[in-house]
A and B are shown apart, each in its own frame.
Chain A
């Protein structure tokens, strides 16, 4: 299997902070790669660095056959990378429709694609002409994801999509992401919700203090409770 995205020796400094301290990772084509780790471990910074929103101070980032570590964000996006930030970043002053019109960069909205998205997120059809700012948190998250998949992208970078969402919505999201994966997308997904991670992930990377501290198959990690506890700092005592 080929790797769609590869980072080697990536360091990122933000101001005086040395956040990423040598990241090596690979995202295989057609898989969902989970990026786990506790708060402040550098997960969001990793995604932002890939996206070019923060400049890597050293190291190489390869997307397909292109080196992208010193490219500008719009150019990286145009290579086929979709980004769903942690803050969702929907344009709250624009309607749902307008948000999606902007996201469909190269032409008018594609009806079949749209119907497919509405299948997962009926709320978006319902609030089609409402300001995105008036949506609930879960609906904003759906819009944010819809924006990233309205046109086929080669790679999706998704940052904690289930954060702060009610369980039912989390389920819908998981289903949607599975479907996107079936359609052949490659996803790098930051997640703190371990069950969501277990449901979706093929392979897993765990970060701490700006480096990758574990890499392996999701299934292996899911089966190894002591390892989970050691890596994620979570207690699973109640399940024992």
Chain B
């Protein structure tokens, strides 16, 4: 492949870095407010871990919207389904989960996560074909149909598993914290951060370094032209939708382990959270979604520490503040 050195200066567009600086500035601003460095480090680590989990859950939603102009109000259902499926694996292997060996734990955890992703991905296929296909291009009906889908999914979970909360204990080797001096960082949070970052980097690599990613980015901008170049975008979309659903499932498992419990109503709670994140990030923007997730988690953690009462409405306040600054979110996607 030709790699040509540019002979003339390229008119590089200015990179919009203000949103990237935002969480950094917020974190730095909190050092004096929180006072103790160790608390600050703990809270920051907690924020990043939580942010990564939220990002994993929200990324599919924002990508699907950007690519196909479909807003799935039922995205939260994939999260709950993922979590429930994981309990299916956890229950019979409770002994392995509690074994004090990382390898044994992972031998249960990894298949559980994979199965969850497979099931929620498959569910994504069904949802796209049944609920979304008939209402492309009609926002109002999309909202109504997918809301209906959310109810049905949630109620089915109740019917199958009952209304009780199912405990989902952390595997033994992931309990406890890493202690660095007087800073304690929970082991599971480190894992969550690691997985979240891996997912983010993977998404970025796919989007920027592969032809598939180019297709997705091009499709976000102009679906017709991608088709006119000879690519079957419907299949591409279905693939993205299923990937997004599978990621939601993965996020569900991680969230369940974080809370150490599973409940059908978790989809409601998380739907709101991921909506706030994708609104803040700018509908359709992966980078915005990533920053938005971290911001939401930071506000929740720092806010919860400083002004516990405020934590209840902190998301809304954050959203209002961001939208006053940028009415279409941090990174507005150009085509809409």
Q: Does A169 contact B (CB under 8 A)?
A: no
Residues of B within 8 A of A103 (CB): 229
Cross-chain contact of B218 among A53, A94, A129 (Cβ < 8 A): A94
In B237-294, which residues have CB < 8 Å from any A CB?
none
Residues of B within 8 A of A147 (CB): 229
Which 10 residue pairs of A and B lie closest in terms of their CB atoms, listed nearest first?
A77-B230, A73-B227, A89-B225, A91-B218, A83-B228, A74-B232, A130-B10, A78-B230, A126-B8, A105-B230
Query: 1/0 per residue A74-93: CB within 8 Å of B?
Result: 10011000010100010111
Q: Does A109 contact B (CB under 8 A)?
A: yes
Residues of B within 8 A of A129 (CB): 6, 10
Given known A-B contacts A127-B6, A134-B13, A108 and B1 have beta carbons under 8 A apart: yes
Q: What CA separation (Å) do A94 and B1 show in the bound complex?
A: 17
A131: nearest residue on chain B (CB-CB)?
B13
Residues of A within 8 A of B232 (CB): 72, 74
- Cβ–Cβ contact B233 & A94, under 8 A: no
- Cβ–Cβ contact A128 & B229, under 8 A: no
CB distance from B66 to the nearest CB of A (A): 11
Q: What CA separation (Å) do A151 and B2 show in the bound complex?
A: 15
- Cβ–Cβ contact B11 & A127, under 8 A: yes
Residues of B within 8 A of A105 (CB): 229-231
Q: Which residues of B line the A interface, CB within 8 A?
A: 1-2, 4, 6-8, 10-13, 211, 214-215, 217-218, 220-222, 224-233, 334
CB distance from A131 to the nearest CB of B (A): 6
Q: Does A66 contact B (CB under 8 A)?
A: no
Q: What CA separation (Å) do A51 and B225 show in the bound complex?
A: 11
Which one of B4, B6, B11, B228 has the highest number of Cβ atoms from chain A below 10 Å of its Cβ?
Answer: B228
- Cβ–Cβ contact A51 & B221, under 8 A: no
Given known A-B contacts A111-B2, A147-B229, A102 and B10 have beta carbons under 8 A apart: no
Residues of A within 8 A of B8 (CB): 126
The binding surface of chain B is classed by DSSP as: loop
B208: nearest residue on chain A (CB-CB)?
A98
Residues of B within 8 A of A67 (CB): none
Residues of B within 8 A of A93 (CB): 217-218, 220-221, 334
Residues of B within 8 A of A94 (CB): 214, 217-218
In A17-51, which residues have CB < 8 Å from any B CB?
51
Which one of A91, A101, A125 has the highest number of Cβ atoms from chain B below 10 Å of its Cβ?
Answer: A91
Residues of A within 8 A of B2 (CB): 109, 111, 114
Residues of A within 8 A of B224 (CB): 53, 73, 85, 89
B230: nearest residue on chain A (CB-CB)?
A77
Q: Does A133 contact B (CB under 8 A)?
A: yes
Q: What CA separation (Å) do A89 and B230 show in the bound complex?
A: 15
Q: What CA separation (Å) do A111 and B3 show in the bound complex?
A: 10
A-B contact pairs, 27 of them (CB 8 A): A53-B224, A53-B227, A53-B228, A73-B227, A74-B227, A74-B232, A78-B230, A85-B228, A89-B224, A91-B225, A93-B217, A93-B221, A93-B334, A94-B218, A101-B214, A102-B226, A102-B229, A105-B231, A126-B7, A127-B10, A127-B11, A128-B4, A128-B6, A129-B6, A133-B334, A134-B12, A147-B229
